[in-house]
Amino acid sequence: MPSTQITSAACIGAGVIGSAWAARLAWNGIDVKVLDPHPEAEARMADVLANAERAQARLTMAPVSRRGKITVVREVKAAVDGAEFIQESAPEREDLKIKLFAEIDKFAAPDVLICSSTSGLLPSKLQSAMARPERMMVGHPFNPVYLMPLVEVVGGVKTTRANIDRAMDFYRSIGMHPLHVRKEVDAFIADRLMEALWREALWLVNDGIATAEEIDDAMRFGPGLRWSFMGTFLIYRIAGGVEGMRHFMSQFGPSLKWPWTKLMDTPELTPELLDTICAQSDDQARGVSIRELERKRDDCLIALFQALKTQDYGAGKTLADYEKRLYAQAHAGAAAAAHDFTKPLRLHEAMVAPDWTDYNKHMNESRYLQVFSDASDALLQLIGVNEAYTKRDLSYFTVETHIIHKQEVVALEPIFVETQLLSHDEKRLHLFNVMKHARTGEVLATAEQMLLHVNHAAKKASAAEVPVLAKLAEIAAGQKELVRPRDAGRAIGAVR
pLDDT for res 57: 85
Between the alpha carbon of residue 300 and those of residues 354, 386, 470, 477, 495, the distances in Å are 14, 33, 47, 49, 45
Residue 453 lies in a domain: yes
Residues 259 and 156 in one domain: no
Q: Average pLDDT, stretch 159-171?
A: 97
- Pairing between strand 428-437 and 394-405? unpaired
Residues 266 and 353 in one domain: no
Highest average pLDDT, of 220-234, 404-418, 442-456, comes from 442-456
pLDDT for res 100: 97
Measured distance CA(416)–CA(445) in Å, rounded: 11
Taking only the tens place, the pLDDT of each residue in 13-48 is 999 999 999 999 999 999 999 999 888 889 889 999
Q: What's the total number of domains in the chain?
A: 4
Residue 11 lies in a domain: yes
- Pairing between strand 394-405 and 443-455? antiparallel
Measured distance CA(168)–CA(150) in Å, rounded: 11
pLDDT for res 2: 42
Residues 60 and 90 in one domain: yes
Among residues 325, 447, 318, 472, the alpha carbon closest in space to that of 375 is found at 447
Residues 262 and 272 in one domain: yes
Residues 13 and 96 in one domain: yes
Answer with the one of 276, 311, 346 that is the final residue of a domain: 311
Residue 484 lies in a domain: no
- Within 10 Å of residue 452's Cβ, how many Cβ atoms? 16
Residue 486 lies in a domain: no
Measured distance CA(436)–CA(414) in Å, rounded: 9
Residue 438 lies in a domain: yes
Measured distance CA(89)–CA(126) in Å, rounded: 13
Between the alpha carbon of residue 241 and those of residues 234, 249, 285, 290, 300, the distances in Å are 12, 11, 13, 7, 19
- Domain of 336, in residue numbers: 327-479
pLDDT for res 1: 42
pLDDT for res 99: 97
**Confidence band, pLDDT 50/70/90 cuts, at residue 496:** low
In the chain, the amino acid numbered 233 is F
The CATH number for 443's domain is: 3.10.129.10
- 118 class by beta-carbon count within 10 Å (0-12 exposed, 13-18 middle, 19+ buried): buried
Residues 168 and 262 in one domain: no
Measured distance CA(403)–CA(449) in Å, rounded: 9
Taking only the tens place, the pLDDT of each residue in 432-483 is 999 999 999 999 999 999 999 999 999 999 999 999 999 999 999 999 999 9
Residues 343 and 471 in one domain: yes
Would you give the distance in Å from CA 36 to the centre of its chain? 33
Between the alpha carbon of residue 44 and those of residues 101, 234, 465, the distances in Å are 24, 41, 53
Residues contacting residue 295 through CB under 8 Å, at least 6 positions apart: none
Residues 412 and 366 in one domain: yes
- Within 10 Å of residue 323's Cβ, how many Cβ atoms? 11
pTM of the model: 0.74
Residue 491 lies in a domain: no
Residues 65 and 116 in one domain: yes
Residue 496 lies in a domain: no
Q: Is 197 helix (H, G, I), strand (E, B) or coil?
A: helix
pLDDT for res 306: 85
The CATH number for 45's domain is: 3.40.50.720
Residues contacting residue 246 through CB under 8 Å, at least 6 positions apart: 240, 274, 278
Measured distance CA(84)–CA(276) in Å, rounded: 41
Residues 45 and 162 in one domain: yes
Among residues 361, 348, 381, 359, the alpha carbon closest in space to that of 447 is found at 348
Cis-peptide, bond into residue 144, ω within 30° of zero: yes
Measured distance CA(427)–CA(350) in Å, rounded: 29
Q: What is the DSSP string of 131-174?
A: S-GGGEEEEEE-SSTTT--EEEEEE-TT--HHHHHHHHHHHHHT
pLDDT for res 61: 77
Answer with the one of 253, 281, 311 that is the final residue of a domain: 311
Measured distance CA(56)–CA(59) in Å, rounded: 5
**Confidence band, pLDDT 50/70/90 cuts, at residue 4:** low
Measured distance CA(431)–CA(433) in Å, rounded: 6
Residues 182 and 197 in one domain: no
Residue 490 lies in a domain: no
**Confidence band, pLDDT 50/70/90 cuts, at residue 248:** confident
Among residues 212, 225, 14, the alpha carbon closest in space to that of 235 is found at 225
Residues 26 and 170 in one domain: yes
Instruction: Report which of residues 161 and 270 the model is more confident about.
Output: 161
Conformation bin of residue 265: beta by default, left when phi > 0, alpha when psi is -120 to 50: beta
In the chain, the amino acid numbered 335 is A
Taking only the tens place, the pLDDT of each residue in 44-88 is 899 999 999 999 888 887 877 789 999 999 999 999 999 999 999
